[in-house]
Amino acid sequence: MTPRLQRLSDTIEKVLGLKPVERTGELTLEVKAADYLSVAQTLRDHADLRFDELIDLCGVDYSTYGDRPRERERFAAVLHLLSVEHNRRLRLRTFCPDDEFPLLPSVIEVWPGVNWFEREAFDLFGIVFEGHPDLRRILTDYGFVGHPFRKDFPISGHVEMRYDPEQKRVVYEPVTIEPREIVPRIVREEQYGGERD
């Protein structure tokens, strides 16, 4: 860890009492859903942290991670923060406690720019952000059913759409294309193909 990163890590530990994890030169801080809002507020307002810009919020569905049984919650929101003042970055991850109804508080009061990102995570993953004033779908079609980026949503979707000349309107029908996979997904064990001792 570079001294710069170490200093930020120490500051976070001192202010929040949480220890961030370092990998490839990036710090990741994991917080419980209950602390999420207060941590966000501190990260923005504390003079030594001042993460004044929210770069990105992204939903993640961990249900098939590593092709092994899941040990913890299914959905998470990952935030990328940037401090323009101190020139630092931080990743903040929060798991949604309930897999059936993923719910997190909205940070829209802290970073107003999160508006569309939360709408996107709601649209694609079904994560509900409590306190968001306008949680509509954003990327999918009007009247779309389901949350397409969940791992159990097939890549070809459930319905297809065509114009029906008899009814003189667009109709939805179940998809007719078969899902196909040309290159299968493989997770190799550690040190596969590496040097043998």
- Does 73 bind another protein (CB under 8 A)? Our answer is no
* Through-space distance between the first and last CA atoms of the chain, rounded to whole angstroms: 29
Q: State the Cα angle at 42 between 39 and 46, rounded to 5°.
A: 155
Number of residues that bind another protein (CB under 8 A): 44
- Of 4-12, 33-41, 161-169, 180-188, which segment contacts another protein by CB under 8 A? 180-188
Helix axes 3-16, 36-45, angle to 10 degrees: 120
SS3 34: coil
What distance in Å separates the CA atoms of residue 120 and residue 127, rounded to the nearest whole number?
A: 9
Binding mask 22-61 for another protein (x = CB under 8 A): -xxxx-x-----------------------xxxxx-x-xx
Q: Binder to another protein among 14, 162, 169, 185 (CB under 8 A)?
A: 185
Q: Give, for 80, the enclosing helix (H) or strand (E).
A: strand 75-83
- Does 140 bind another protein (CB under 8 A)? Our answer is yes
Binding mask 78-117 for another protein (x = CB under 8 A): x-x---x--x-x-x-------------------xxxxxx-
- Does 163 bind another protein (CB under 8 A)? Our answer is no
104 by Cβ neighbours in 10 Å (0-12 / 13-18 / 19+) ranks as buried
Q: What are phi and psi of 23, to 5 degrees?
A: -155, 140
| Closest CB to another protein among residues 166, 182 | 182
Beta bridge partners of 105: 130
The least distance separating another protein from the CB of residue 33, rounded to whole angstroms, comes to 19
Which residues here bind another protein, judged by CB under 8 A?
A: 23-26, 28, 52-56, 58, 60-61, 65-67, 78, 80, 84, 87, 89, 91, 111-116, 137-141, 148-149, 155, 181, 183, 185-188, 192-193
